[in-house]
Amino acid sequence: MLQKGDTAPDFELNATPDQKIKLKDFKGKNVILAFYPADWSPVCSDQMALYNEMLKYFNKYDAQIFGVSVDSVWCHLAFEENRKLHFPLLADFEPKGAISKAYGVYDDEVGESKRALFVIDKEGKIAWSYLSPVAVNPGADGILDALEELSKK
Amino acid sequence: MSTLKPEINSVDHIQGDDAASIAIVEFGDYQCPYCGDAYPIMKEIEETFGHQIRFVFRHFPLANAHEFAFPAAIAAEAAGLQGKFWEMHDALYENQYRLNGELFDELAETIGLDLEQFQQDSAAEEIKRKIEDDFDSGVRSGVNGTPSFYVNGTKFDGGASDLYQMLKESAE
């Protein structure tokens, strides 16, 4: 798993069937990546619902959050609509889990991303990362602490 | 291990004895079904352990997921300005199954509030801010869903019935 100080690997992933998100387009902004095992599963749903309530906090720290799982764009769309999520979910779908692997948070045995958080600074360096037990929702206090630390620089 | 930030203080709604040895803080949402399930168990905990328990409720409304969560928190705080926070808190959970925008005035009358004052207070900025401060405190304390419980300042890893079980075992 990539750690503080590592360069965040660039990626280009679909957020919707016709919209791709490139990490490098977000240079100059802080980026939060929340890798999670699967749409619809109980813990993930709560975790994403929590981040959904926190967008204005992230905004305050000039940070954009993306959820990342191996689900397809269509699955993400249905999940976003059902849970009224207001931030993009990226599909690490083809080749499956390639970005999760690049960040060192892919679980080969179950074929899903692990539950991991990354805060990437405005220069594209990883400022903080955290691997949570799969069944535990990691909350958001760690993300906020990392963003606060960055804002002091 | 996540800890409660800030600690219990004078702006909190507190039930029970100041001298109680166990302080329980719940972060809850009035529309959240799991919080609704936790409500009678919390009552049971308070009854069973009596003076040993001090109970604090902080708001953690998931406003995007639950459209009445924030208005319900406002109703509780507005009732609080007339000294009836807990009456409204109880009424909201007891009527959670029929929670909607028209319920608040009805409950306000049932628990005997000055309705005009209640409606006026419900629009107050300071009440909104109090709820946002509670939410902020939850986020800082590592709340990851509702309900989340803190026992003597440390996050409790489990729901209300786990909490009851734990208290029962530690009392034995």
In whole angstroms, what is the distance from residue A141 CA to residue B5 CA? Answer: 11
ipTM of the complex, rounded to two decimals: 0.81
Size of interface A-B (CB pairs under 8 A): 44
Given a contact cutoff of 8 angstroms between Cβ atoms, the answer to whether B61 and B70 are in contact is yes
**Exposure string for B117-147, b = 16+ CB within 10 A, e = fewer:** ebeebbeeeebeebbeebbbbbbbbbbbbbb
Question: Looking at A13, A44, A119, A146, which residue is catalytic?
Answer: A44
Strand B53-59 to strand B13-16: parallel, antiparallel, or no bridges (unpaired)?
antiparallel
Contacts of A138 in chain B (CB under 8 A): 144
Given a contact cutoff of 8 angstroms between Cβ atoms, the answer to whether B58 and B76 are in contact is no
pLDDT digits (tens, 9 = 90+) for A27-63: 999 999 999 999 998 776 689 999 999 999 999 999 9
The whole-number average pLDDT for the span B101-107 is 97
In whole angstroms, what is the distance from residue A126 CA to residue A16 CA? Answer: 25
Q: Do A144 and B65 touch (CB under 8 A)?
A: no
In whole angstroms, what is the distance from residue B92 CA to residue B61 CA? Answer: 13
Annotated active-site residue A75? The verdict is no
Q: Do A137 and B145 touch (CB under 8 A)?
A: yes
E strand map for chain A: 12-16, 19-22, 30-35, 63-69, 89-91, 106-107, 112-113, 115-120, 126-132
Q: Mind telling me how many Å the CA of B60 is from chain A's nearest CA? A: 10
pLDDT digits (tens, 9 = 90+) for B48-95: 999 999 999 999 999 998 999 999 999 999 999 999 999 999 999 999
Q: Do A141 and B141 touch (CB under 8 A)?
A: yes
Reference B69, options B147, B2, B10; nearest CA is B147
Domains of chain A: 30-152 (3.40.30.10)
Domains of chain B: 13-171 (3.40.30.10)
